[in-house]
């Protein structure tokens, strides 16, 4: 299988199978740097780190694409609402449908926006993910609008990933400097003569 056809999480022949990028020095065939690697963001990869590699174009593409998809979703919902009008279900059902989509869209917007700003609690996340899948499906327009609004400022989730990456780099540098067996951290002391 070539690199283009291999899924991101599939193990490489002789690899760890964790899906995480391997850090390596010369013994692994990787670059001679150590430490944590930046996490990839959907549609951006790791271009968010230095804002290179078409970062601005990607942000514009995400903004335009998410707004276009939200508009297309609104048109589809309009056709669905016209179907309810043709069925003559009454104004009460029409109000319930519009209110339901509006509430679900607002909740999906908030949940998506919060995902860009902070990591949810892992214990609560697993239970909440299964119960809110329907809500996110119904409120897909709100989620797309959250992508649009966030991409006007930065890559969606960039602030969170940058804070995590910076903290990981600082921890790595502290550990690296505090190691007693690290020759790079030791300073040479002149020997005392008697």
Q: How do residues 141-150 score in pLDDT, each as one tens digit? A: 999 999 999 9
The predicted structure's pLDDT at residue 84: 84
SS3 letters across the chain: CCCCCCCCCCCCCCCCCCCCCCCCCHHHCCCCCCCCCCCCECCCECCCCCCCCCHHHHHHHHHHHHHHHHHHHHHHHHHHHHHHHHCCCCHHHHHHHHHHHHHHHHHHHHHHHHHHHCCCCHHHHHHHHHHHHHHHHHCHHHHHHHHHHHHHHCCCCHHHHHHHHHHHHHHHHHHHHHCCCCCCCCCCCCCCCC
User: pLDDT tens for residues 115-143?
Assistant: 888 876 666 666 666 777 877 888 899 99
The predicted structure's pLDDT at residue 188: 58
The predicted structure's pLDDT at residue 124: 61
Summarize the confidence of residues 36-53 as an average pLDDT.
85
Report the mean per-residue pLDDT for the chain.
76
């Amino acid at each position: 299988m070539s690199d283009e056809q291999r899924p991101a999480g599939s193990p490489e022949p002789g690899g760890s199978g964790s899906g995480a990028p391997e850090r390596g020095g010369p013994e692994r065939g990787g670059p001679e740097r150590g430490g944590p690697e930046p996490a990839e963001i959907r549609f951006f990869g790791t271009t968010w780190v230095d804002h290179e590699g078409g970062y601005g174009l990607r942000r514009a593409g995400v903004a335009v694409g998410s707004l276009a998809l939200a508009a297309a979703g609104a048109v589809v919902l309009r056709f669905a609402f016209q179907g309810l009008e043709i069925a003559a279900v009454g104004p009460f059902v029409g109000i319930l449908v519009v209110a339901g989509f509006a509430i679900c869209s607002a909740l999906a917007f908030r949940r998506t926006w919060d995902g860009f700003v902070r990591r949810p609690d892992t214990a609560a996340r697993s239970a909440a993910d299964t119960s809110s899948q329907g809500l996110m499906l119904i409120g897909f327009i709100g989620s797309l609008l959250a992508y649009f609004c966030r991409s006007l400022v930065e890559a969606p989730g960039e602030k969170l990933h940058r804070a995590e990456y910076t903290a990981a780099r600082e921890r790595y540098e502290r550990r690296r400097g505090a190691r007693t067996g690290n020759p790079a951290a030791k300073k040479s002391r002149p020997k005392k003569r008697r």
